[in-house]
Amino acid sequence: MKTDSQIQTDIMKELKWDPSVTHEHIGVAVSDGIVTLSGTIPSYIEKSAAEKAAQRVSGVKVVVEKIEVKLPGSYKRDDQDIAKAIVNQFKWNVQVPDDLVKASVEDGWVELSGEVEWDYQRTATESCIRGLTGVNGVSNNITIKAKKVQPDVVKQKIEEALKREAEREARRIAVDVRGSKVILSGTVHSFTEMNDAKWAAWSAPGVTSIENNLHITN
C-alpha cells in the first residue's frame, strides 16, 4: 500500500505529465489518502483537469479541491461576450437541449438552470462551457425530470449494467433504489470504477439523483 508521501509524489508527477495543467502553481497535500489541491491556475477548465489528474493516481481516496482561478488579462471577457459564446456552444452541441436549459453570467461565473431528461445532457451542458475564455466557475443547478419508475426494475437494470462492465467489481457494489433516487454503497478500487458505477446508475430511466456512498480501497 502506498504511503501519503508516495501518493503526493505520484500526483505531482501526474500533474506535470498532463500538458493541459499549469502545474507550477498547484500545491498537493495528502493525509490518509485524502488529497488537498491548492494554489492558482489561469482557467476554469484547468481546475477540472487538475482534479481528474489527482483522481487517476492509485491510492487516492478523496480529492478536496481548493484551487483558485485567476484569469490573466488576456483571458478576461465581458459577461455579455461570455453569454453570447455560451449561446453559440449550446446551439452547436447536439447533446445540449438548448430549449430546456438557461445560463446566467456574473463576473465570469456561470449559473446553469433548467430541467432535462438525462444526466448526460446536464453534464454535456456544463462541459461545453468549461473551456470558454473568461469563465472562472460554473454552478450546475440543472435538474433531471422526474418520471414514474418501478424501483425493482431500475435496480435490476443498474445491476445488469454493472455486471456487463466488470462482474467481479459489481459484487462489491450494493444498489438501493428509493423512488427515483439511487443509493450506491460498497467498495471500489479507483475513481474510474466509482465513476463507471455512477454512470451505470445515471443511465437507468427515471433516475433523478444519486447518493454515492462508495469507498475507494487499495
- The average confidence (pLDDT) of the chain is 92
End position of a domain, from candidates 110, 144, 178: 144
- Residue-level pLDDT at 36: 97
Quick one: 108 and 165 in the same domain? Answer: no
Query: Do residues 97 and 136 share a domain?
Result: yes
Number of continuous H segments (helices) and E segments (strands) in the chain: 7, 10
Tell me which DSSP letter residue 24 carries.
Answer: G
The domain boundary residue, chosen from 15, 48, 70: 70
**Model confidence, pTM:** 0.82
Distance from C-alpha of 111 to C-alpha of 129, rounded to nearest angstrom:
11
Look up the CATH number of the domain holding residue 19.
3.30.1340.30
SS3 call for 147: coil
151-165 and 191-202 helices, crossing angle to 10°: 140
Q: Residue 49: CB partners within 8 Å, gap ≥ 6?
A: 18, 20, 21
Domain that holds residue 24: 4-70
Residue ending a domain, among 113, 144, 175, is 144
| Same domain flag for 128 and 169 | no
Q: What is the pLDDT of residues 155-204, one digit of tens each?
A: 898 999 888 877 777 788 999 999 899 999 999 988 888 998 999 999 98
Could you tell me if 168 and 191 lie in one domain? yes
Tell me, yes or no, whether 117 and 175 share the same domain.
no
* Number of domains the chain contains: 3
pLDDT of residue 169: 75
- Pairwise CA distance, residues 43 & 49, whole Å: 10
Question: Which residues, other chains included, contact 145 with Cβ-Cβ below 8 Å and sequence gap of 6+?
Answer: 115, 116, 117, 208
81/36 same-domain check:
no
